[in-house]
Amino acid sequence: MDYESSLDRALDSVTEVGDAGQRLSVPDPVAQTDGAFTRFTNIGDVADALARDTDHLHRTIQRDLGTSGQLEDGVARYSGGFSAQDLQDALDDYVERYVTCSECGLPDTRLVTEGRTQMLRCDACGAFRPVAKQPRQSGRQDSGPAVEEGETYQVKITGTGRKGDGVAEREQFTIFVPGAREGDVVDIYIEKVSGTLAFARRVQ
């Protein structure tokens, strides 16, 4: 077999960059509000499109959102109110860290573990790198949380919960205040914090 024929056969077996990029077709995340929770209803379809484990995707998004959550029957539920764009931003970060090859930019990758280190191996170009570390969230570790148990704050009640409690917002936290009405400005004492949800009582 001459050189040109060998070269043609080799080129035919190589994945084209354009074709590989087009194969990554990911559904838009669907956010469904349910009271104080947000459901990511098509997380299973998104994980399948990325060829990643649904639980891994769920746990990573939960961490990025800075909240608690659970995965059941292919639907993820997160504490707090999040928009479809919030889910999309978290998903974009996931794709960058856990899917896209940093060398060739293609999604033809696999997650593997070397010792205790999670690695990303690219089947398209052969690159092999540690998974990028998650960026720190906007100084939260330095400044402390916006809502803490045992602290007192003044808030404006902007809504009403399903049980009739007043609802206030403070940065990413949703605060429930029994006995408060929409439009009230009240002093509150934080009794409990769970994820991005806080439960308070009015201070007289």
Domains and CATH numbers, the chain: 3-130 (3.30.30.170), 140-202 (2.40.50.140)
Cα–Cα distance, 170 to 175 (Å, whole number): 8
Neighbouring residues of 190: CB distance < 8 A, sequence distance ≥ 6: 147, 148, 149, 150, 151, 152, 153, 175, 198, 199, 200
Write the DSSP assignment of 132-190 as a string of letters. PPPPP-TTHHHH--SS-TT-EEEEE--EE-TTS-EEEEETTEEEEETT--TT-EEEEEE
Q: Given this model, what pLDDT does residue 136 score?
A: 41
pLDDT confidence of residue 199: 92
Q: What is the pLDDT of residue 23?
A: 60
d(CA 91, CA 5) in angstroms, rounded, equals 43
Distance CA 165, CA 184 (A): 12
d(CA 168, CA 63): 23
Which pair of structure tokens corresponds to residue 15?
């994945």
Query: For residue 172, what pLDDT is reported?
Result: 78
Whole-number pLDDT of residue 46: 95
pLDDT at position 204, please?
A: 74
**CA atoms of 64 and 97, how far apart (whole Å):** 12
Say how far apart CA 162 and CA 1 lie, in whole Å: 76
pTM: 0.57
Identify the pLDDT of residue 5. Answer: 56
DSSP 65-103: HTS-EEEETTEEEEES---HHHHHHHHHHHHHHHTS-TT
Predicted local distance difference test score (pLDDT) of residue 41: 95
Per-residue pLDDT of the chain (204 residues; tens, 9 = 90+): 554 555 455 445 444 444 444 467 899 999 998 888 999 999 999 999 999 999 999 998 988 888 888 999 889 999 888 999 999 999 999 998 899 988 888 999 999 887 778 889 999 888 888 886 554 443 334 445 778 888 998 989 988 877 788 888 888 788 999 999 988 999 999 999 887 888 999 987
Contact of 189 with 203, CB cutoff 8 Å: yes
